[in-house]
Structure 1
Amino acid sequence: MARVEPVIRVQAEDFDLARESALLSSGRRDIGAVVSFTGLCRDEGGRLAALELEHYPGMAEREIRRICEIAIDRWPVTGLTAIHRFGKIAPGGNIVLVLAASSHRQAAFDAANFVMDYLKTSAPFWKKEHFVDGSEGGWVSARDGDTSAFERWRDKD
């Protein structure tokens, strides 16, 4: 079996889940499961006007590729896509997409979960809140729950 080449994109433009899933699985007979995770911008109880995401170009793509390569080595995935947006994103807008394909569902679930946990804590992205009253929040820190989710994979690297 040929080595899986992950699809990695960091972009300002929105993405289309159905299109990306079709690109991953179209014409493939070795795929038994595609697991998707789409992260959306919340409105934080109506207070948030936008979430601004910044990144280091080049570094962000390299780190996402590194994370995906670990997942490919760890689980028998047949395809992997990771797309992360940057710029100002309004509530309800897409932020991140992870698609993992495998012959069996558990490997796809595990690989997608692993990639997402690492993206939330290790990828070089920074988030700033812009509120509906015109004020700005500070840079958003990782939540304790995100860090705990990340830590469960660490001893398995």
Structure 2
Amino acid sequence: MQHWKRTTDHANRLFAQGDWVDAREHYLQALALAQVLLERWHDVDEAVAALVIAHHNLADLHLRLNQPHESADYLCAAHQRLLQASHEPRLPQPLREAALRHSARTYTELLNFIAEYGQYPRTARLLNRQAGVASELIAAPEVAPHSLNYGIH
């Protein structure tokens, strides 16, 4: 997890300096690390948060580059991966539960994005396919807002 954090911190510094190309490369490295950590890290909430943060950092970067379509893809990918993980029987129950908890946040972020930037093909497909599941996640009382901050801001 420390390597993921260092990679993300370095990418955040590059982002702040306006070095978009190198920031993107480091964010992509952080995403690859987070994907590996998802099933291997002992703290399931940290592992899931790392995956979400990695996706959301890339989404923020593409918004800065005026590429909302790519941002939508990263936001959808994060949400979709968490929904998939929450239903994968081969994954440990605590990881599935963490994915479900965090998917409430990715769903909210996706809705906020759509409200500001409009629908994109992938957002429409994902939300139409997952409408029932997503509604349950938002309404579920056991899914409390989490104190983790996603994205670089």
Larger Rg over CA atoms? 1
The structure with more helix, counted as a fraction of residues: 2
Report the TM-score when normalising by structure 2: 0.37
Name the structure where strand makes up a greater proportion of residues.
Answer: 1
TM-score by length of 1: 0.36
